[in-house]
A and B are shown apart, each in its own frame.
Chain A
């Protein structure tokens, strides 16, 4: 099974900051990686698929990059509504797997 490791597990940032979250796969997953956002007491929201493609309606301040085993999610200018937990997920092969999550908190 493919293990997904996110770092950091949490971070503190201010509105306007550039935020970067990393995700590492235990083996090559090409670009079959997605990112999701989850706010407290809510279901996940899909942000990015295929490592860098934004789902419709996702603000352009979100971007993704990477391939193989190393990936990043970047928020170019953090907005108040972006404080949430972010998860990466590989769908290169079954069983699918998620990272442990990164909580973005207000500094």
Chain B
């Protein structure tokens, strides 16, 4: 059974760096075709894709946020970490991690975490 769970601080101050962790089970990021992305959703707004990492350590980022984002993986812990620098109140959102198994569904996400709400406020 594939599961993903996001974790991070519920509240961060403006200008701080946010570190989010996606802990997953039921698959390995050492398996060819496995990938994990981060997606966020401000309250009442649409989904926004942020970053991607795959089994081969290829990484891709949102054009508008790439200077602030870093994605990495720890295969021994089954975790993917996203850091976002210089947080602003507009970054207040629910942050999701999602899996892609490209051998089956191409680049589409097939499993999602339940999300973690991050509020940016002083």
Contact with A along B92-118 (1 / 0, CB 8 A): 000010101000011111111111000
Contacts of A38 in B (CB 8 A): 47
Indicate whether B67 reaches chain A with its CB closer than 8 angstroms: no
Question: Is A50 a contact of B46 with CB atoms below 8 Å?
Answer: no
Range class of the B interface residue count: 20 to 34
Q: Considering the chains assembled together, what is the distance between the CA atoms of A36 and B114 in angstroms?
A: 14
Range class of the A interface residue count: 20 to 34
Contacts of A96 in B (CB 8 A): 37, 49, 52, 107
Secondary structure at the B interface, as helix, strand, loop or mixed, is: strand
Contacts of A97 in B (CB 8 A): 49
Question: Is B112 a contact of A98 with CB atoms below 8 Å?
Answer: no
Contacts of A50 in B (CB 8 A): 105-106, 108
Question: Is B46 a contact of A55 with CB atoms below 8 Å?
Answer: no
Assuming the contacts A1-B63, A43-B96, A44-B96, asked whether A98 and B109 have C-beta atoms less than 8 A apart, the reply is no
> In chain A, residues 62-98, which have Cβ atoms closer than 8 Å to a Cβ of chain B?
87, 89, 91-92, 94-98
Indicate whether B55 reaches chain A with its CB closer than 8 angstroms: no
- Minimum Cβ distance to chain A for residue B76 (Å): 26
Name A residues whose Cβ lies closer than 8 Å to a Cβ of B.
1, 32, 34, 36, 38, 42-46, 49-50, 53, 55, 87, 89, 91-92, 94-101
Name B residues whose Cβ lies closer than 8 Å to a Cβ of A.
37, 39, 46-49, 52, 60-63, 96, 98, 100, 105-115
A-B contact pairs, 22 of them (CB 8 A): A34-B105, A43-B113, A43-B115, A44-B98, A44-B112, A45-B112, A46-B105, A46-B108, A46-B110, A46-B111, A55-B105, A55-B110, A89-B49, A91-B106, A91-B107, A94-B52, A94-B60, A95-B60, A97-B49, A98-B46, A98-B47, A98-B49
